[in-house]
Structure 1
């Protein structure tokens, strides 16, 4: 599901979570046909498989994703069984646990309500990979996503995040995001965590210049991996991410995709069309990255709705074309830049991505 599929609250179903047993009409352990029947034959997107077996199915009109696990062997009981349900924040059902409404709210409010409910029930609440509440006893792991304006508006980002949820059966409850079924749906092992810290102040940020289609700050598109590190004062990346096109099908070459530099507050994105990886894009983090200006607009660390509006206005005044990119951020099409949103607790602040000609942005 995506932000452009969002629905008004009055059009969304209301479901009750029975921890470790069911959510709404879905019971953990159902097979795919039973899931679809429980959802009144709702339309299903193309099924996703892993190792030739059904892994998960998305129901876009309902706003849920059904995640399956398989038993051992190939006999009875080895087929796909519903193990987890991911609920979309923009169009999914409004799920309630006892008196606590879980969906579409500020994360801090839901956290406070869940802690109160857990205290009364005598169960513990911990933080998951993203800093949001997770309760093993209830098979519940909360998350958050960018909030948007009314569905009647074509494109409006808000300055806050709202809650979504992953609900699991007993087999996955101990550590949902570490289990094979959930990793196959959403692998967060290399994801950037959200500590909820406040953004740096303008006085605490370095200032970088930007040359469209060439580079930003000391970084120039086409740099090698070693040149990027040297340009950042020798900083070593906190995280390196890559991919293997032959993963699951035998040995293959690992390709570097990006490096995250927490000290500088930037992520370097690489491509390697004909050889060693070279710098193709730079993402400046909204919480910790340097300040970058365009046409008198401070792009980094501000309320994202303000920056979106100022950037669009400047683009139109200049007579440039503009488009909305992968995460919903606007940018001048000819200049290879767009505004990104970085979570900071309940809010979002503006970051930005700058990229080389011909680089394919994948979000």
Structure 2
């Protein structure tokens, strides 16, 4: 599902979670035809297979993703925060709420039931006894208005049957849908105020701070004081029947508060983009506008106004962030607990942003 398909809450279905058994009209163990029938004949807009077997199906009109194990049989249901059904467990509403409030309500319900609550990969509430794993996503203004990002996140949920309940995100049916090894956890509140950050200069289409597009991996490391990346991401490129090679795509530098994105148009990977983290990254200005570590809605408004005052065009990128067309920059949002602060991505011409 996507933020642009969001629905008013009064138009959303209301479902009840029956722990480890099912949610709303869906029951774990259903085959795809039974799932579709239970959803009133809704069509799946996307289906994904793995190893020749159906892995998951997205139902955008309903706002859920059905995740399948062997059979295929339904083993998990992901509920979208913007258009999915409003799911209730006991007297606790789970979806499209402030995460800390939902966590407090879940803890209260868990105490009365004598079950334990833990934190999952994203720092949100998870209860194995109920097959419940909470998550969160960017909140938006009403669908009747122009797309506007709010300064908070709202809850979504992954609901699973008994076979996945002990560790929902660690098993193949779920990892085929969403591999959290490629995601960033919720680290909590931002440790730096905007005025406490070092300043980096930005030259559109050329680079930001000490980083210049076209740098090699070693040059990026040297420019950042030889800091070792906390995370390196990429994928295998297979060559015929050979073993292939691993293609580096990004390195995350937690000390500097930036992520370096690479591409390989001529062989070895070179720097193509830099994402400045909203929590810990350096401050970057655009004509006096502080872009980093501030409420997202304020930065969005200031950036759009400045673009229009300069007679430029502005575009919305894949995660909903605005930026000046042809200057190769846009505003991103970084989660800080229940809230969001602004980050930014700067990139070279012709680089394909993958989100």
What range is the shorter-chain TM-score in? over 0.9
Out of 264, 269, 272, the residue aligned to residue 264 of structure 2 is: 272
- Structure 1, 184-193 or 122-131: larger mean CA deviation: 184-193
Output aligned runs, 1:4-43, within 5 Å: 4-43=4-43
Distance in 2 between residues matched to 1:189 and 1:17, nearest whole Å: 27
* Residue 217 of structure 2 is aligned to residue 229 of structure 1: no
Partner of 2:45: 45
The whole-number CA distance in structure 2 between the counterparts of 1:296 and 1:197 is: 25
Tell me, in whole angstroms, the C-alpha distance in 2 between the residues paired with 1:229 and 1:151: 43
- 1:188-203 counterparts in 2 under 5 A? 188-203=180-195
Q: Unaligned regions of 5+ residues in structure 1, if any?
A: 71-78
| CA-to-aligned-CA distance 1:183-230 (integer Å, 9 cap, x gap) | 000001132211212341134311100000000000000000010010
Q: Secondary structure at the match of 2:326?
A: helix
1:356 has 2:342 as partner:
no
Query: What secondary structure sits across from 1:47 in the alignment?
Result: strand
| Mapped contact 1:123–1:137 kept (Cα < 8 A) | yes
Work out whether residues 199 and 344 of structure 1, in 8 Å CA contact, stay in contact via their aligned partners in 2: no
C-alpha root-mean-square deviation of aligned residues, in Å? 1.1
Which residue in the other structure is 2:318 paired with? Answer: 326
How far apart in 2 are the matches of 1:125 and 1:246? Answer: 42
- Corresponding residue SS for 1:84: strand
Question: 118, 140, 144: which is aligned to 1:148?
Answer: 140
- Separation in structure 1 between the aligned mates of residue 160 and residue 244 of structure 2, nearest angstrom: 34
Q: TM-score, normalised by structure 1?
A: 0.96
Candidates 209, 212, 217, aligned match of 2:201: 209
Give 2:249's aligned residue. 257
Deviations 1:78-116 (A, max 9, x none): x20000000000000000000000000000000000011
- TM-fit CA distance, 1:327: 0.6
Between the aligned partners of 1:298 and 1:318, the Cα distance in structure 2 is: 17
CA contact (8 A) 1:161 1:347 kept: yes
1:80 counterpart = 2:67: no
Q: Unaligned 5+ residue runs, structure 2? A: none
- How far apart, in 2, do the equivalents of 1:351 and 1:94 lie? 30
- The TM-score normalised by the length of structure 2 is 0.98
The answer (yes or no) to whether the contact 2:194–2:292 under 8 Å persists in 1 is: no
Instruction: Give, in angstroms, the shift of residue 138 of structure 1.
Output: 0.3
CA displacement, residues 147-180 of structure 1 (integer Å, 9 cap, x when unaligned): 0000001310000000000000000000000010
**What secondary structure, in the 3-state scheme, does the structure 2 residue paired with 1:244 have?**
strand
Q: 1:246 and 1:146 mapped to 2: Cα distance?
A: 36
Distance of 1:3 and 1:44 partners within structure 2: 18
Report deviation, 1:315: 0.4
1:315 aligns with 2:307: yes
Structure 1 runs (4+) deviating above 6 angstroms are none
Shift of 1:341: 0.3
**Alignment partner of 1:114: what SS?**
helix
